[in-house]
């Protein structure tokens, strides 16, 4: 029996969409361990009061990921619509709905938030999405089964699927994990000309944000978006207009979605421990058989020539 992606979806669906594994977050149990985990985390502080809407970050992102240039880079009319990321553009800059009819005064860069307890990773049967200790939530395409549970689980609607590809995969911002592993900052943060994007240690960024929020005469909304949302995110935002107007969801709560998933699965240890590797094994075995069959067919064709 061939276990292709479509069949896998049926099998997995029959088993119940709750079949998920806990996110690969550090298992810190003491305050000291938790502090060590926190101190290793990097993040980005997005200050929307400084963003000028130049979209250099978009261009840098597509360049570093070998993707097509962003649409209408020099056209301000692009801000008339609210765009979302897609499989070939991991970040977009939108204009905020400030209520002003003229040129919008605020812009917001959107991308994967690289949650501290990512729901996408928690929902993934085979850990194709994985939280790294320093921050990036990375995607392993070789492990992906194409079930798309990550897309359903993400509270920010980030993961996108290559529906138009014969070999589809999930795509999303990588937080430039490769660059970070070489000691470099993410491409988008390195080119921002206005200081709207600050890359650094997450704890330090929270301090920086607080200083700006509580400085004398500050016009900032006294809130750091992402410090606590869904358990905290690596990318955080500060602004001087209501967060709703920036298009950020403000009803997510502070509880990590992955914890909810894990709690519901605690009662079904078989699902947690055996079901994912079983499915992965079946899928890998089936794929290998398909490869061998294809090689044999190619060999026969060659011998007939």
**56 belongs to the binding site for ligand SF4 (CB under 6 A):** yes
* Least Cβ distance, residue 35 to ligand SF4 (angstroms): 22
Site for ligand SF4 in 199-258 (CB under 6 A): none
Write out the two tokens for 298: 């190619």
Pick from 41, 42, 55, 160 the residue near ligand SF4 by CB under 6 A: 55
Site for ligand SF4 (CB under 6 A): how many residues?
41
H/E run at residue 203: helix 202-213
Binding pattern for the stretch 126-155 against ligand SF4, x by CB under 6 A and - elsewhere: -----------x----------------x-
Write out the two tokens for 194: 């206005």
Closer residue to ligand SF4 (CB): 174 or 261: 174
Write out the two tokens for 46: 């997005």
* Least Cβ distance, residue 229 to ligand SF4 (angstroms): 10
Return d(Cα 176, Cα 173) in angstroms, integer.
7
Q: Which stretch binds ligand SF4 (CB under 6 A): 25-33, 105-113, 160-168, 278-286?
A: 105-113
Return d(Cα 193, Cα 56) in angstroms, integer.
8
Question: If DSSP codes are grouped into helix, strand and coil, which group holds residue 38?
Answer: helix
**91 belongs to the binding site for ligand SF4 (CB under 6 A):** yes
**196 belongs to the binding site for ligand SF4 (CB under 6 A):** yes
**111 belongs to the binding site for ligand SF4 (CB under 6 A):** yes
Q: Left, alpha or beta for 169 (phi > 0: left; psi -120 to 50: alpha)? A: beta
**197 belongs to the binding site for ligand SF4 (CB under 6 A):** yes
Q: Which residue matches tokens 């597509």?
A: 62
Q: Mind giving me the DSSP string for 130-164?
A: EE-TTS-EEE-TTT--S--HHHHH-TT---EE-TT
> Where does this chain bind ligand SF4 (CB under 6 A)?
51-57, 60-61, 64-65, 90-91, 93, 107, 109, 111-115, 118-120, 137, 154, 156, 158-159, 172-176, 186-188, 192, 194, 196-197
């Amino acid at each position: 029996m061939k276990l292709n992606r479509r069949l896998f979806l049926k099998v997995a669906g029959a088993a119940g969409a709750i079949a998920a594994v806990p996110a690969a977050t550090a298992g810190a149990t003491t305050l000291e361990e938790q502090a060590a985990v926190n101190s290793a985390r990097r993040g980005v502080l997005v200050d929307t009061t400084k963003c000028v809407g130049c979209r250099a970050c978009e261009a840098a992102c597509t360049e570093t990921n070998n993707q097509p240039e962003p649409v209408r880079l020099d056209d301000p009319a692009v801000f008339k619509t609210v765009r979302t990321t897609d499989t070939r553009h991991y970040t977009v800059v939108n204009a905020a709905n400030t209520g002003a009819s003229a040129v919008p005064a605020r812009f917001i860069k959107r991308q994967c938030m690289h949650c501290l307890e990512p729901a996408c990773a928690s929902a993934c049967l085979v850990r194709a999405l994985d939280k790294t200790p320093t921050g990036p939530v990375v995607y392993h395409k070789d492990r992906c089964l194409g079930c798309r549970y990550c897309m359903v689980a993400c509270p920010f609607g980030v993961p996108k699927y290559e529906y138009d590809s014969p070999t589809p995969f999930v795509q999303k911002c990588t937080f430039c994990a490769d660059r970070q592993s070489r000691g470099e900052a993410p491409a988008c943060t390195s080119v921002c000309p206005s200081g709207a994007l600050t890359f650094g240690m997450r704890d330090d960024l929270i301090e920086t944000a607080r200083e700006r929020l509580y400085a004398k005469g500050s016009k900032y909304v006294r809130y750091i978006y992402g410090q606590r949302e869904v358990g905290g995110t690596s990318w955080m935002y500060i602004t001087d207009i209501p967060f709703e107007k920036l298009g950020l969801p403000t009803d997510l709560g502070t509880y990590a979605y992955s914890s909810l998933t894990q709690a519901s699965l605690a009662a079904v240890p078989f699902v947690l421990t055996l079901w994912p590797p079983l499915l992965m094994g079946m899928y890998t075995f089936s794929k290998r058989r398909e490869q061998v069959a294809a090689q044999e067919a190619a060999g026969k064709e060659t011998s007939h020539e």
